[in-house]
Amino acid sequence: MLQKFLRAAMAAFSLAVLAMPKPALAHGNTFHIAVFLGNATKVVPPLVLTLNQPVLASTVAWLIAVAAMIAVLVLRVLERRANSSWSAAFVVKDLEISPRELRAGNKASVAVTVNNRGKHAGTFKVILRVDGITKAEREVTLASGTSGRVEFSVPAAEPGRPIAVNVGGLSGTITVMPA
């Protein structure tokens, strides 16, 4: 939504400069400023401002142009941040469950490695799901090109029923044996 607004502002900027009050646009003391919002595929009727004061007309046209220039700059920053090379890029790998078989009442350790393959530092939330339900979350902050290990503890439930664990999209099973 914001990007659509900013793209419209870019169009307004290019045409607001053309719409600056000039003697040719003046009819007596009345100035008409037309701003066209649209692109090659969609044409929108122009926004026409009719002002009776030359100074006010000039001020409004310049304010439109300045606002549009700011919108263009904001859009450029947003486009750069959307580029994956601009931000952190995390990969979750190496799911380890230890032990894979345990007795009721004990706990298993579930761990993953998180890599930041992006060009900048960032924070990533690692979520542990047990039998499809979120049981724990941990945040890990990593510099560019570094890895971190995140570990969770999973208590054994009822014997005979396997426990399905999922961390960051990686899945495994814990088998619970009678005590």
pLDDT in tens, 45-80: 555 555 555 555 566 666 776 676 677 667 666 666
**Do 34 and 112 belong to one domain?**
no
Q: Are the CB atoms for 159 and 179 separated by under 8 Å?
A: yes
Residue for token pair 């998180």: 114
Average pLDDT of the chain, as a whole number = 75
Neighbour tally for 108: CB within 10 Å? 21
- What CATH number does residue 163 fall under? 2.60.40.10
Please tell me the predicted confidence (pLDDT) of residue 49. 55
Same domain, 97 and 35: no
Residues 106 and 141 in one domain: yes
The whole domain housing 41 covers: 2-82
Which residue, 82, 102, 127, sits at the end of a domain? Answer: 82
Q: Is the dihedral of CA 51, 54, 55, 61 positive or negative?
A: positive
Total structural domains in the chain? 2
Identify the band that residue 30 occupies on the pLDDT scale cut at 50, 70 and 90: low
Is residue 6 located within the same domain as residue 59?
Answer: yes
Looking at the structure, do residues 14 and 76 belong to the same domain, yes or no? yes
Tell me 24's DSSP state: G
Residues 77 and 101 in one domain: no
Determine the 3-state secondary structure of 160 from DSSP.
coil
Least confident window among 22-26, 57-61, 170-174: 22-26
Q: pTM, whole model, 2 decimals?
A: 0.53
